Chains A and B, each alone.
Chain A
């Protein structure tokens, strides 16, 4: 093999590492010959879709593979010492002290019944010779370093008393306190809201300068890798296909897979009407049935004859970059086009302006207002999940709803479709009042609205075949059995699944395929309105883009109206004609997508836009960070609900008076609910600049 970059001061060197798992159906090789060298004090990013072996690699380094996993060959050198063959007992001594890992789920990593201070302090007491008092002081100091404003209070709290972002900081503190030589972070921000993620990423970037920590950062998110890491590697089928300085890798990717990944993610862009997303064809290879030759060849647009015969070497290009591709020399000559226009996405002007969905002061509160027995005092601690929401949505358009978790997006959708009973206000469908739960709606109304859920594993009944799942809603609409079967085949065809899928059970389908069936099922009754509740958030990016393209194609053909809910601003801004920004049960800004992404902004929209990670070196991003978390909807702040976190709060008025909703700019469709006058809001610099 080619000589890898021999860094002057490599803290970790991995040589030809092969890791396999023994399963009932035989041996599966999850990591197939990985070479990596990580320099002291740098951050190495590792990106890849699910099943590419990135977590296995992390566990192999930690010496913490599952019982059925084993290192077949290769070496892992930590500071020059081979740790790949050390027994667990030996590894235990260096865990925490020299090697540490931060996981995706902070609530699973913390013991729920021990106070934070004790949990962190224990790390010091087991490894060092600190006394309890010293450990406590150091813990508080470390929490302060991680920008926790009341470290003493946090140290005396139990994990459940903290927010998700705070817990992840505690995990970081716990991992850092013993000053490990190497820290592995396995998707530490994946479960967090963008605003919180942005802050954690800031902290991780600071760690490098402050503690000179070496970090291996594992994620599926190219934007995040671009944000935090010095060098990055892209994994596919248990190998690195490309590795190099992050700036180069993201700015001018060489390997067809890296290029594909970068093109496939939608990007927030202030330009309107982008081309179609470019999904990578095919799906991620199964580790137990790898193709001959280059493992990426079945999906590769640059495939040549030789690619199917032998595997390419990991060759050095441009001095400091490594690429596993025969065609690399050729590809590098081509100019890399970030987002090639793949045909116009949709017609310029849409819809006949017929109003499909309307909400008027819609409210959904959970719980009941009570009167205290003794004092006769009225207590209203109902959860105001949706509080006074009004909007209109025209036929064939898509309304994207964004906001942090807990802002009421999903409740809004569930109230519209009738899964929750509306507390007050009105919802109309084609000007018909439908403000009743499902039980009170007639069959025609039920036919008109459908919903696509987030979790592909739960969306189909595991005991029923795809045919049964598809035929039932068509029959309910009045078709005979044969008609229904034919229609089901047609619908499956429309979502790129052949008729052979009819007799399968959901467990024989991949996540993306299940979501396709769910979409086909939603279209089965020819509904006017489809509510999409985060339909792609649990899918890999390459599958996400094909699902989004599919939704857009179907919308073009059938003129269906969508309400698309997601925490992912990039996806929403890509798919939507209109956007609504939701905060704590209220819509703070509503308007055409283009207007939302450009000033004037609501301060909350501005902060959201500034929090997302954009994997594009050409884009300049303004940096605004929100403090704290979304307050409880049980006890909403007075005045403007956003005032507790607003970076642009103007004074007392924000705390005492409800802000007015004003038309922003020339477009009457764009409105902002804020005390700051629109003119002043218009004066800010755009968050994203090319």
Chain B
């Protein structure tokens, strides 16, 4: 019981300390707003994102269509709002995947050290030396575009970076005496890694994951723009940009609003990530 109370109190303490960073709070509010929109979706969107309004093609922003319409007369406002779904799902699943892969790899290599560490980390270096977008295009080009593919690819692309952070955190923690005390009483390596070590590296992992989340949003939008992710007619911010491309000179609103949406989310995530980093460093 006391443990539960402590956990709740710990959570409020984190929120209280994060609130010392105004930018972090702004970021958090924007993110929560987008998450809310994604969940409520059809309730907040005035039209169906795929409904055609043939009489209203390429109209600029107006009261009827706040963000204008596209070449089929679809409401851009509804499409941008609904587009938040795919980007949030893709980016968060991908970040979760890379967090899982990266922290497992980092834990194992950091803890075991030696040859395993050398070989695996050099392989990670090779993976990291590919430009992220190029690597993603290559894989999706081979296996064909799909939202699931985007998640896997982004997860793979960012896993090495998280692995590096996890590994260096493990190297620091594993020298501490409670790890040696665990060895001395005959604990297995798995127990030491996941019960003794892992809880002590959540801090740096959380910071890295929040930064990666920002990148993942960007990368998933980029892949959408290249047509390698979500397929039409589903609205996706990257895809909306792609559709806007050829009409940019006379219907700029088609590009501007999805771009603003991407920017707002990425900037908000970075604000929050920065606040989390400061919290971890004890600056808040």
Contact = CB atoms under 8 A, between A and B. Distances in A.
Interface in B89-116: none
A453 B175 CA distance: 12
B199 A463 contact: yes
Given A450-B184, A473-B185, A476-B185, A461 B3 contact: no
30 contacts: A418-B184, A438-B183, A438-B186, A441-B186, A443-B186, A446-B184, A447-B185, A449-B184, A450-B185, A451-B181, A451-B184, A453-B177, A453-B180, A454-B177, A455-B177, A458-B177, A458-B178, A459-B181, A460-B178, A461-B178, A461-B199, A462-B200, A463-B199, A464-B196, A464-B199, A472-B185, A476-B186, A503-B2, A505-B6, A525-B185
Contact of A446 (B178, B180, B185): B185
Given A461-B200, A463-B199, A465-B3, A419 B178 contact: no
Given A458-B177, A461-B178, A419 B200 contact: no
Q: Which of B176, B177, B180 has the most CB of A within 10 A?
A: B177
Contacts of B3: 465, 503
B177 A446 contact: no
Contacts, number: 54
A91 B183 CA distance: 53
A440 to B, nearest CB: 11
Interface in B185-215: 185-187, 196, 199-200
B186 A419 contact: no
A565 interface: no
Interface of A: 417-419, 438, 441, 443, 446-447, 449-451, 453-455, 458-465, 472-473, 476, 503, 505, 518, 521, 525
A453 B186 contact: no
A417 B184 contact: yes
A525 B186 CA distance: 12
Nearest to B1: A503
Closest 8 pairs (CB-CB, A-B): A463-B199, A446-B186, A453-B177, A458-B176, A458-B177, A461-B178, A503-B2, A459-B177
A463 B180 contact: no
Nearest to B191: A472
A76 to B, nearest CB: 32
Contacts of B6: 505
Contacts of B2: 503
Given A458-B176, A465-B3, A521 B181 contact: yes
A462 B198 CA distance: 12
Contacts of A454: 177
Contacts of A450: 184-185
B278 to A, nearest CB: 15
B190 to A, nearest CB: 14
B180 to A, nearest CB: 6
A418 to B, nearest CB: 8
A419 B177 contact: no
Contacts of B184: 417-419, 438, 446, 449-451
Given A461-B196, A503-B3, A419 B176 contact: no
B103 to A, nearest CB: 15
A459 B178 contact: yes
Q: Which of B177, B183, B184, B187 has the most CB of A within 10 A?
A: B184
A227 to B, nearest CB: 33
Nearest to B180: A419
A454 B176 CA distance: 11
Nearest to A500: B2
Contacts of B183: 419, 438
Contacts of A438: 183-184, 186
Contacts of A460: 178
Contacts of A441: 186
Contacts of A449: 184
A150 B185 CA distance: 50
A525 B177 CA distance: 18
Contacts of A503: 2-3
Contacts of B181: 451, 453, 459, 518, 521
Contacts of B196: 461, 464
A459 to B, nearest CB: 5
Nearest to A468: B195
Contacts of A419: 180, 183-184
A329 B184 CA distance: 55
Contacts of A417: 184
Q: Which of B178, B180, B183, B199 has the most CB of A within 10 A?
A: B178
A441 B181 CA distance: 15
A473 B196 CA distance: 13
Contacts of B176: 458
Contacts of A521: 181
B247 to A, nearest CB: 55
Interface in B1-30: 2-3, 6
Nearest to B5: A503
Contacts of A462: 200
Contacts of A443: 186
Nearest to A414: B180
A521 B177 CA distance: 13
Q: Which of A447, A449, A503 has the most CB of B within 10 A?
A: A503
Contacts of B178: 458-461
Contacts of A453: 177, 180-181
B146 to A, nearest CB: 39
Contacts of B186: 438, 441, 443, 446-447, 476
Interface in B207-254: none
Contacts of A525: 185
A419 B187 CA distance: 13
A463 B177 contact: no
Nearest to B20: A24
A684 B178 CA distance: 46
Nearest to A445: B186
A409 to B, nearest CB: 16
Contacts of A476: 185-187
Contacts of A505: 6
A458 B176 CA distance: 6
Interface in B138-182: 176-178, 180-181
A476 B183 CA distance: 12
Contacts of A464: 196, 199
Nearest to B196: A461
